[in-house]
Amino acid sequence: MKLLHVYRLSDGDWRPSEAHLATFAELAEPLGRSGWTVEVAWIGDAEMVRLNGTYRGKDGVTDVLSFGELEQDRDGVPDLGRDENGAAVDLWRGEADVLADAPIGELAIAPGFVRARCAERGWDLDDELALLVVHGLLHLLGWDHEEPAEAAEMRARETSLLAAAGRPHPMAER
């Protein structure tokens, strides 16, 4: 899977470095299909508050949101089968998405919020950002963490993907 980074930040807002982007590309590479893209929108806190309220009904800023275009529960051969390249379930691209070669989803990340939270709590920013990218991508591939068993499975998948790129899972260290 390829990542397409877009910035909807104010001038002077913190942005990920080229080294960060290289790490994110490495983390995304084994997931999904090689021709698939995901747009990663780096946004300000105010926009994240708006998105969090609109799509999750929650007040306040959050670190990452995932907006997927892949479909589940269809008949026929899936575009990506369960347990294949990180998929939690069988997944299909929509007809229009295939024709337009549209992204399979978008991640919205609030780097200002993430950076401030890491500084406040003594967390490693690089590890936290890597986790958020992996976490968001797994949501696009059908992973969830609403139930304890699902959360444990998702955490194990995150840990494995991060370890393959030589990164620790920051939640395991807390």
pLDDT per residue over 58-78, tens digit each?
A: 999 999 999 999 999 888 899
pLDDT of residue 95: 73
pLDDT per residue over 100-151, tens digit each?
A: 678 999 999 999 999 999 999 999 999 999 999 999 999 999 999 999 999 9
DSSP structural state of residue 30: T
Domain residue spans of the chain: 2-173
What whole-number distance in Å separates Cα of residue 108 and Cα of residue 51?
9
Q: Is the pLDDT of residue 173 over 70?
A: no
> What global pTM score does this model have?
0.94
Please check whether residue 71 is in contact with residue 61, taking contact to mean a CB–CB distance below 8 angstroms: no
Altogether, the residues listed in the chain come to a count of 174
Q: Are strands 2-8 and 37-43 parallel, antiparallel or unpaired?
A: parallel
pLDDT per residue over 79-88, tens digit each?
A: 999 999 999 9
What whole-number distance in Å separates Cα of residue 161 and Cα of residue 170?
13
What whole-number distance in Å separates Cα of residue 67 and Cα of residue 136?
9
Structure tokens at 170: 């920051």
What whole-number distance in Å separates Cα of residue 30 and Cα of residue 34?
8
Please check whether residue 112 is in contact with residue 3, taking contact to mean a CB–CB distance below 8 angstroms: no
Architecture of the domain delimited by 2-173: 3-Layer(aba) Sandwich (3.40)
pLDDT of residue 98: 63
User: In angstroms, how far is the first alpha carbon of the chain from the final one?
Assistant: 29
